[in-house]
Amino acid sequence: MYRSIFTAFVFVSFFCHGASDINSLYVYDEPLEMPPYSDQWFIDGDLTDLKNLHIRRDGKSGDLSAPASIDCKTRKFTVTGNGLLYTSDPISSSEVSQQISDNVIEAVLQKICGAKST
């Protein structure tokens, strides 16, 4: 019985704490050359303090996820490490950067930095 109470406590604590620190924010719907297909881009992580951030793509081009940083003072978005393509294939940070268009970066900065300045 104590084990199940402890497990329930840990489970509730994890999700209550995680809900306040970890978020996912939809930032951009990128149209592809083959209408009506598109890729949806998200920023996941601690959006309050801009820590533990990941850029994420879902869509026709395939799932992509990589660590990232955002500096609102300089309005700079940076891929900070290697990522995963199709949820399991490693991809270098430079390859990730090549797959992120300027429109996506501008949308990320507008959503994150625009929201922080208001």
35 falls in which pLDDT band (50, 70, 90)?
Answer: confident
Residue 75 lies in a domain: yes
Q: Does the predicted model carry a pTM greater than 0.85? A: no
Range of the domain at 95: 22-117
- Per-residue pLDDT, averaged over 42-58, amounts to 97
Residue 111 lies in a domain: yes
Residue 44 lies in a domain: yes
What's the pLDDT score for residue 69?
Answer: 98
Residue 17 lies in a domain: no
Local structure of residue 63 (DSSP, 8 states): -
Phi-psi region of 73 (alpha: psi -120 to 50; beta: other; left: phi over 0): alpha
Number of domains in the chain: 1
The answer to whether 63 and 85 have CB atoms below 8 angstroms apart is yes
| Of residues 56, 46, 111, the one with CA closest to residue 84 | 56
Query: What is the average pLDDT score of the chain?
Result: 85
State the burial class of residue 87 (Cβ atoms within 10 Å of its Cβ: 0-12, 13-18, 19+): exposed
